[in-house]
Homo-oligomer: A and B are copies of this chain.
Amino acid sequence: MPDPRDTQVIEQFVERFAQVLVDSGMPRIASRIAIAIMATDEGRLTAAELAERLHASPAAVSGGVRYLTQVGIVHRGRERGSRRDHFTVEHDWLYQTIAQRDSILVRWSAGLREGVQAVGGDTPAGRRFAESVEFFEFLRGEMEGVLDRWEAHRRAATTRA
C-alpha cells in the first residue's frame, strides 16, 4: 500500500478543485489530471495510474495529457527501460496560468480598440470604449508590477528559509 493516506478524501478533493478550474475555463479531464498529479508526494503519475485514480479511460487520459503538454503544464517522461510514460506538473503551473491571464487583458484591450474604430472615436459610444481601453491598459501595466513583487516576495522567503 504505497499511499497510507485516505485516498477517498484526496479523490474527493481532486474532483472538487477540478470543478473550480473547469469553471475558470480549463477542460475537465485536464484539470483532474493536473490536480491528481499535484496531489501525489512524488509529483508524478503514470498514464495507467491516472486512468485508475480518475476512473477514466486510457483514451481520455491520453487526450488530457496531450492538451496539458501542449500548454506546457505537464511534462512527459519515461524511465529508461520502461514502457510506461509518467507525467509531472510544472511546480509553478498555477502561477503560470495566472500570469498568462495577462494575454486575455490584451485581447479585451484590442477588442475594445476595434470598438472605438467601429463606432467612431468622436461619438459617445466611441468615448465609452476608449475609457475601457484605458482601464485595460492600466491593468496590464499593473500586472507586471504585481508579478515582480511576488517574485521578490518569494525570493526573500526562500532565501530566509
Whether A98 lies near B139 (C-beta < 8 A) is yes
Interface size on A, residues (CB 8 A): 50
Is the CB of A77 closer than 8 A to any CB of chain B? no
Known contacts: A120-B5, A135-B150. The answer to whether A39 contacts B108 by CB under 8 A is no
A contact patch SS: helix
Contact with B along A72-92 (1 / 0, CB 8 A): 000000000000000000010
- The distance in angstroms between the C-alpha atoms of A66 and B154, with both chains bound, is 44
Is the CB of A56 closer than 8 A to any CB of chain B? no
Whether B128 lies near A150 (C-beta < 8 A) is no
Which residues of B lie under 8 Å from residue A24 when comparing CB positions?
25, 104, 108
